[in-house]
A and B are shown apart, each in its own frame.
Chain A
Amino acid sequence: AQSVTQLGSHVSVSEGALVLLRCNYSSSVPPYLFWYVQYPNQGLQLLLKYTTGATLVKGINGFEAEFKKSETSFHLTKPSAHMSDAAEYFCAVTVNRDDKIIFGKGTRLHILP
């Protein structure tokens, strides 16, 4: 069965610094990968997704993620953190286009002034 592991339940970065949130997946077949963001007291918003094709995926709010099959990773990055990026970020995977989504435990991103 597929799964995702997010390294670090809490990550703190200074405003303007690089954001790097780590995600590794486990899947016996090619995965579809997602990053979702959850702002305080709000629902899940899709940041970006990898289905097929280009391995570097750009999402909303300046985020991007790169699918690396050799490393089974799908790390999320943003060159320069903004205070508004403070939220919980979930990496997720599915292996069939029609299948349920399996979520990681989430990483709470704190932005330091």
Chain B
Amino acid sequence: EPEVTQTPSHQVTQMGQEVILRCVPISNHLYFYWYRQILGQKVEFLVSFYNNEISEKSEIFDDQFSVERPDGSNFTLKIRSTKLEDSAMYFCASSQDGAATEAFFGQGTRLTVV
């Protein structure tokens, strides 16, 4: 069964450093999403992406965040200057036709900022 894959599974970084979280969506999917889950809290929407541009972003997704689809397979989330409060599990999701009802989630990347 096709799946969304994320790398790395766990990343530790120092405060102020840049991190790039990588996702490989399901191959025929066109819509991509990032969500995050701070430990003990609910999963929150960050951004959606379609046709090489952001479709929607939340208030969490400020200027330190960016997304990119650098090639035909990867979808990345970059955090320019990490803060302690960026520590969270980050989930990538994709869907074929933009339907949230058909979105598939990856296993997540646990980011720890020290």
- Known A100-B33, A102-B45; judge A43-B105 contact (CB<8 A): yes
CA distance A14 to B5 in the complex (A): 34
Contacts of B104 in A (CB 8 A): 46
**Chain B: interface residue total (CB-CB under 8 A):** 23
A42, A43, A45, most chain B CB atoms within 10 A: A43
Minimum CB–CB distance from A108 to chain B (whole Å) comes to 10
> Do residues B33 and A103 form an inter-chain contact, with CB atoms below 8 A?
no
Contacts of A90 in B (CB 8 A): 42-43
Within 8 A of B (CB), among A77-101: 90, 92, 94, 96-101
**Is A44 among interface residues, defined by CB-CB distance under 8 A?**
yes
CA distance A46 to B106 in the complex (A): 11
**Is A49 among interface residues, defined by CB-CB distance under 8 A?**
yes
Contacts of B33 in A (CB 8 A): 100
**Is B84 among interface residues, defined by CB-CB distance under 8 A?**
no
CA distance A105 to B41 in the complex (A): 6
> Do residues A98 and B91 form an inter-chain contact, with CB atoms below 8 A?
no
Q: Please choose the segment from B11-19, B62-70, B75-83, B94-102 that sits at the chain A interface, where 4 or more of its residues have CB less than 8 A away.
A: B94-102
Number of A-B contacts (CB under 8 A): 56
Minimum CB–CB distance from A43 to chain B (whole Å) comes to 4
Minimum CB–CB distance from A20 to chain B (whole Å) comes to 20
The one of A42, A43, A46, A104 that contacts B42, using a Cβ cutoff of 8 Å: A104
Minimum CB–CB distance from B71 to chain A (whole Å) comes to 23
Nearest 5 pairs of A and B residues by beta carbon: A43-B107, A103-B43, A44-B105, A100-B45, A98-B98
Contacts of B42 in A (CB 8 A): 90, 103-106
A99, A100, A103, A104, most chain B CB atoms within 10 A: A100
Contacts of A99 in B (CB 8 A): 100
> Do residues A97 and B101 form an inter-chain contact, with CB atoms below 8 A?
yes
CA distance A51 to B100 in the complex (A): 10
Within 8 A of A (CB), among B2-44: 6, 31, 33, 35, 41-44
